[in-house]
Amino acid sequence: MFDQGHLGESFIRLVFIGASALAAGLGIYAALSMTANLAGWIYQRRRPMWLRQLETRQRRLQTLAPKQNNLGRLVILGVAVGLAIKAVLTGGFLVAVFLVAVGIALYFYAGTRATSLAHEKVTDAVGELVAAYYSAHLVIPTVFGALSEALKTQTNPILYAAVERTLAAFGTGKLTEEVLDQLEHEIQNPYLSQFAFILRHASESNQKEILNTLRELGNRLDQRKRLKDRSKVALALVSGTVRFLQAANGAVMALAVLAPFWWDFYSSSVSRQALLMIGGSIAILGSWYFENQLMQLRERVL
């Protein structure tokens, strides 16, 4: 017969330990992040002013993950560090090292994946830019005049910043070929390259030819977007299954560290800690494999 009072006390203790470990992990990460930012600020301040100004002018397009994804990455890293602290305090040093390594790997993987998704959104933004440029070119039949007008409707921050720098470079006296090369270099997108190719030859062609070519490019982008939307629906079940398995793997690993009856077993010897690490590695590698296959399938479809 179970002692309900003892069971409730054990549950409260488990929740307290988990929350304390998570708070400690997030606190340590915040302290390390502040230290790194301070060191970077001091390093930048000690550099010559002319060098900092040159870097600002030559700054390439930043491919940072959206801010809303940074919170998720921090939570993943904080949970891993918190579990590692709990593990090392209760005799599981090997498991703690493993959890920290997994947390760091997932942190950077999530950033890479967010960057990849951000670049995918750029193609949709190129479609919007082409459509806006087509409308603007009917009224303003000049390359950069129409481009400046089309930029006003652009909402993608990556493409907006790149086109804005292109317009600024043209305003300083650079040639059309040079500024369009700069735009292609900053955003390596095949549809944007086609758009830049059309702009390069705008002065050599009449307005009717330019409009027809822009219309054809816009139609191809619209067709791609419709195919993308249909593929999302078709792959939704597969993607949801992969996410569920990833969540289940994370929950099992967390329970193995937090649940006393499991942790007492795994932390009792080095071999059992190694067993937990091997099981966790297999689950992570399997999850990564299916995630990678899913990404390749989406890229192949699109």
Per-residue pLDDT in tens (0 to 9) along the chain, 302 residues = 445 455 445 555 555 555 555 555 555 655 666 676 676 667 666 655 544 554 544 444 343 334 445 677 788 888 888 888 988 888 888 888 889 888 888 888 887 777 777 777 888 899 999 999 999 988 888 889 999 999 998 888 889 999 999 999 888 888 888 899 889 888 888 899 999 999 988 877 788 888 889 999 999 988 888 887 787 777 777 777 777 877 888 888 888 888 888 888 888 888 888 888 888 888 888 878 887 777 776 666 55
List CB contacts of 89: < 8 A, sequence separation 6 or more: none
The pLDDT value given to residue 33? 62
pLDDT at 149: 92
Tell me which residue of 118, 116, 298, 117 sits closest to 224, measured CA to CA: 298
Q: Is residue 94 within 8 Å of residue 274, measured between CB atoms?
A: yes
Measured from the Cβ of residue 131, the count of other Cβ atoms closer than 10 Å reads 18
pLDDT value of residue 126: 92
Looking at residue 267, the DSSP 8-state letter turns out to be T
Residue 130 burial (CB < 10 Å; 0-12/13-18/19+)?
Answer: buried
Contacts of 201-204 with CB under 8 Å at 24 or more apart are 202/143, 203/143, 203/176
**Of all helices (H) and strands (E), which one includes residue 6?**
helix 4-45
pLDDT score for 50 = 46
Rounded Cα distance, 219 and 241, in Å: 34
Within its chain, how far is the Cα of 236 from the centroid?
19
Rounded Cα–Cα distance for residues 189 and 278 (Å): 40
The residue with tokens 């086109």 is 163
pTM over 0.85: no
**pLDDT for the residue 58:** 44
> How far is the CA of 75 from the CAs of 14, 15, 244, in angstroms?
19, 17, 18
What is the DSSP code (8-state) at residue 64?
P
Neighbours of 253 (CB within 10 A): 22
* 61 contacts 160 by C-beta, under 8 angstroms: no
